[in-house]
Amino acid sequence: MSTSVSTVRVDLGNRTYSISIGSGILDAPESYLGLPPSSACAIVSNTTVAPLFADRLAAALCRIYAKVHVILLPDGEVFKEWTTLQRIFDELLAAKCDRSTTIFALGGGVIGDLAGFAAACYMRGVPYIHVPTTLLAQVDSAVGGKTAINHPRGKNMIGVFNQPTRVIVDVDTLDNLPQRELIAGLAEVIKYGAIVDDEFLVWTDRNLSALIARDKAASIEGVRRSCEIKARIVAEDEREAGRRAILNFGHTFAHAIEAGVGYGGWLHGEAVGCGMLMAADLSARAGLVDRAQVERLARVVREAGLPTRPPPLGVDRFLELMRGDKKAVAGEMKFVLLDGPGSTVVKFVESGMVAATVESFTAGAGPLRQP
């Protein structure tokens, strides 16, 4: 096990849990000590991640649990739907897993959402542990308890808040991550600096090369600081009734991109990278920030290798998809906007101003599908 493990706490009263971040901690048995007692556990993973890490995780868990079941799912955002969720239930029942069974989500955001949602529902709730293997999951989706599946009419429309019992982040798993997915994860790292911590945005900008090169120290520090920011916000507003909404910076635009091209055409982080720039542009149109701040964020996003132009959906289609987003109220669109370095505000925006932003970006639209 790594000699240096960073720990971040998500303070939620009797549901408080820890995020362990380090190198070489995936298959260390001590990473899993103190979990709820059970005779069995189930590892939920996919056909891409399981061949890389499932045996290692199972070997560590075999020292704790009498039985370790592996549930293998297809890989991809397109499979984050009812049929795949039902497959998890089918396999848990076939293995005679009871209500004390602990579920381990081994994979990226899709696996985390599916396994967390299944854990919330199976026998009215069983504990689950996140073992995220993508940068985006390590800094965002594995923390905070949001679980959901997609619906043809919108992303993450059906789901539940269900906090994990623990999160285990081994940055060594990033060594196997395709470069496109690593860069997509950087969008969420950049987001945290943009919305609440300008010093972290400066740090991210200076360390982009090290993060892209998967430098261990830089990766641990980037994940740690990202998790600290999200943990503070979640502790303040677990159910997104107020402050937690700022974590959706760029996401109303991003979800429209993902739904418009079909899930999987753009990775979530790619859509968020572009969506943040559209939200920043809207912030300037609303008179909240100057163009210099917009251009600064655009430079960081561009140098990270993220898309800066949306796909050619057309203005009307783009607006239609945004009005259907779950954050809209009676069809009116609410946005997280910048109102200074490391500062945001959440507000409704007049539709003509939104259309102007969409039109300006789609005039130089990017590819319908990312390479």
* DSSP sequence for 270-315: HHHHHHHHHHHHHHHHTTSS-HHHHHHHHHHHHHHT---S--S--H
* Catalytic choice (56, 240, 309, 317): 240
* Catalytic choice (77, 91, 181, 188): 188
Torsion of CA 253, 254, 257, 259, to 10 degrees: -110
Residue 104: both structure tokens together: 């381990």
* Closest to 252 in 3D by CA, of 162, 369, 351: 351
Annotation says 230 is catalytic:
yes
* Closest to 351 in 3D by CA, of 286, 272, 256: 286
Annotation says 156 is catalytic:
no
Annotation says 151 is catalytic:
no
Annotation says 69 is catalytic:
no
* Catalytic choice (80, 155, 225, 255): 255
* Catalytic choice (77, 251, 270, 285): 251
Torsion sign, CA atoms 9, 241, 185, 128: positive
* Catalytic choice (46, 150, 156, 248): 248
* Catalytic choice (87, 130, 155, 268): 268
- Helix, coil or strand: residue 1: coil
Task: Tell me the residue ranges of DSSP E strands in 100-229.
Answer: 102-107, 128-132, 146-151, 154-161, 166-170
* Closest to 46 in 3D by CA, of 137, 151, 121: 137
- Strand partners of residue 41: 68, 102
Annotation says 188 is catalytic:
yes
* Catalytic choice (69, 244, 270, 285): 244
* DSSP sequence for 5-24: -EEEEE--GGG-EEEEEESS
Annotation says 255 is catalytic:
yes
Annotation says 80 is catalytic:
no
* Catalytic choice (224, 230, 238, 285): 230
Annotation says 146 is catalytic:
yes
Annotation says 150 is catalytic:
no
CA pair distance 355, 271, nearest whole angstrom: 18
Residue 302: both structure tokens together: 């561009």
* Catalytic choice (130, 146, 166, 224): 146
Burial status of residue 93 (CB atoms within 10 A of its CB: 0-12, 13-18, 19 or more)? exposed
Structural contact between residues 144 and 130, judged by C-beta atoms closer than 8 angstroms: no
* DSSP sequence for 31-65: GGTTPPP-SEEEEEEETTTHHHHHHHHHHHHTTT-
Residue 21: both structure tokens together: 């971040």
Annotation says 251 is catalytic:
yes
Structural contact between residues 101 and 130, judged by C-beta atoms closer than 8 angstroms: no
Active site residues: 124, 146, 188, 230, 240, 244, 248, 251, 255, 268
